[in-house]
Each structure stands twice: as C-alpha cells, then as structure tokens.
Amino acid sequence: MPKRVPEETKQRAFRLVLDHLEEYPNLSSTCESVSARLGFGAESLRRWVRQAQIDGVSAKG
C-alpha cells in the first residue's frame, strides 16, 4: 500500500519544483531531482505539480 504523504510535504515539494524549474530542461527532470532529495517518487511529484497547476495553485498558496 502506498504511503500517505502529508499535504505540507507536498506543498513544500511543489514550491521547490517551481523554484528550480528554470535549472532543468523540463518538468520531469526537475521532479526527478527534487523527489530524490525528499525521498519519494518523481512521478508522484510530477502529478502533484500538474494537478496544482490545473487547480490554479501558486507557489505561495
């Protein structure tokens, strides 16, 4: 069963991805780097970021 990641951790990861997006060629590469540092899957992080973008969530909120 997949482990549940706290919403606070997801938001922190989302902000890190947005902060470092310009340093990588694409979203997937950014998510791979950030997720490796935080200890969860890159694909999960990419989905969270995509969903946040769809929902219109900014890095600040």
Q: Answer yes or no: is 17 within a domain.
A: yes
Q: How many domains does the chain have?
A: 1
Q: Answer yes or no: is 2 within a domain.
A: no
14 within 8 A of 61, measured Cβ to Cβ:
no
- CA 28 centroid distance within chain: 10
24 φψ region: left (φ > 0), alpha (ψ -120 to 50), beta (else): beta
Six token digits for residue 23: 């340093």
CATH number of residue 48's parent domain? 1.10.10.10
The overall pTM is greater than 0.85: no
Query: What tens digit of pLDDT does each residue of 1-60 get?
Result: 567 888 898 889 999 999 999 999 999 999 999 999 998 899 999 999 998 888 886 655
Q: Answer yes or no: is 45 within a domain.
A: yes
Q: Answer yes or no: is 16 within a domain.
A: yes
Q: Answer yes or no: is 49 within a domain.
A: yes
Six token digits for residue 48: 């969270």
Tell me which residue range forms the domain holding 13.
7-55
